[in-house]
Structure 1
Amino acid sequence: MSDVAQVNVTGGGMVVRLASDTLSLPVLELPAPLASWLQQGRLDVYRRLLEDPAGVDFFQQHLPVLVTRSSGSSFPFNCGNKGVGFLPDEMNLPRYTDLYRQTIEATRAMPWRESLAARIAAARSFHEDPEAIDCRCLTSIEIFRKRTFHNLREYPLASLLFTGTSPRYRSFQLNCAVEIIGEPDPRFTFIKLSRRMFEFDAFHIAQPDFHVGYLFWIAEVIDKTPHRVGFPARDSGAAGLHSSLEWDDEALSVLRSLPAWSRSHVKTEIERYGAERGFGRITVEVVSEARKILRH
């Protein structure tokens, strides 16, 4: 893959070598609200798959719009949906690669639906371990090797646009430098195993083989979530924006029952929801109502 190794990441920055220029860009981590939304979306899909293996054919956290640059065209931007996922950090990569490989081997002779619980258990163990996730990048695997692939070989800068469903329409644009990887890179091995784990489930197009993967290294994050006129734009990094709202004991019990890594974000979102709707305090009814709406 040396002919396309145009992105080099070192520490908190990266160097992107283009045909006519060399760029130095920062490497950023996913903001907490986006990371939480992506994690929760995937965990929710695992739950729905267990309830109805044929009932999940799309989920927005997995399939953002990818925008790449096409040279020599009157319309210079190419758009397409691309399935993305998380990557373990360097320390945890061997552990989860081994887990995925062992799970695939252990379920190889089982009917696909009978193996679903074991495959989901392995995937959940990674996605419920936020400390193991490298939040500086997202991953994808190339199944077509058409316009997107050729564009990224020539110009490895791209944007990912995530858009949620109503009523929140949560939306983020990630501007990224894209590293193209393949065998024997251990990161590619993990990406390929992640795909193999769910190759024949309803939300994937089954493919015989994969040759390259993408690492979307994040250089810029733009929160495009719409907000009501008259309210300030949402600040992804804000914490405790409406912390003056009091919580009932029962509502606090519900909050404390959530995973520790998600409580702060969920608390902020519920308080924002309560303040925008004029509630004077957070009750268990407000929590229930907010969670039903904000999960989108």
Structure 2
Amino acid sequence: MTRSRATLIGFTAILLWALLALFTVGTAPVPPLQLNAMCFGLGGLIGLGWTAATGQIAAFRALPLPAFLLGTLGLFGYHALYFAALRAAPAAEAGLIAYLWPLLIVLFSGLLPGERLRPAHLLGAILGFSGAALIILGGSGSYDPQNLTGYLLALACALTWSGYSVLSRRFAQVPTAAVTLFCLVTALLSLLLHLALETTVWPQGRTGWGAVLALGLGPVGLAFYTWDIGVKRGDIQLLGVASYAAPLLSTLALVLCGIAPASGKLIMAAALIAGGALLAARASLRAARADRAPQAQPPA
């Protein structure tokens, strides 16, 4: 597979994740852990069929335990928090806060060996969190206490996925087939916790069941596999920059479907979050180009 083709495959994950909030709203009133179990069960079955068809089942036995734990906790933790956030706060606002993860990935990467945090990274962080603060404070210095829990859950989402993504660099050699195991174990953990903590509520009508199916096949299914291919075989820097479009696309989908109003506050918050992330990404790309540039030889 060529680098450009792998990058294009990775782009599909970003487009699918832009529909995550829209489909999640459609699954109400299914509780978060139950929704996690249903969606990841579907996503795991997709991967199981693909893994069996390509003869990669044996890869499960060679999976390092740290990689297994990181993948399972990353997928389970992020989506359990995400679904809970969208149940506890307005979908557009909670979704935008959760989409701080691209910016946090850039910032956390500065802590990795060989990486350096630059002033533009810090400025991007300030802009991004200004957007999140605008949502929480409503632009008036106060917030609705009823939504605070959802906002905090959304922030925990961003921290969880960014931490998972940065730490995943330690396991670049782990095959994409491992994502199947992450999904299946996440589904099982979610089911056990659901039975212990939640009351089962099934989706309502064709819309509810269709939204669950769409989540399991797309944003909480196929997207993980295509993203894994993209970041391991494609242009990861380009994919990182492109991922900053996800919160804007997600908000646009909610507005177009009449779920969120096209308010000035929401548009400004989206611009701040995306603009801050793009600024930080630009600094990272410049640093990468500088590192790859041949060093000038001293005169003889």
> What's the TM-score once normalised by structure 1's chain length?
0.26
> What's the TM-score once normalised by structure 2's chain length?
0.26
Task: Write 1 or 2 for the structure with the bigger share of helix.
Answer: 2
Task: Write 1 or 2 for the structure with the bigger share of strand.
Answer: 1
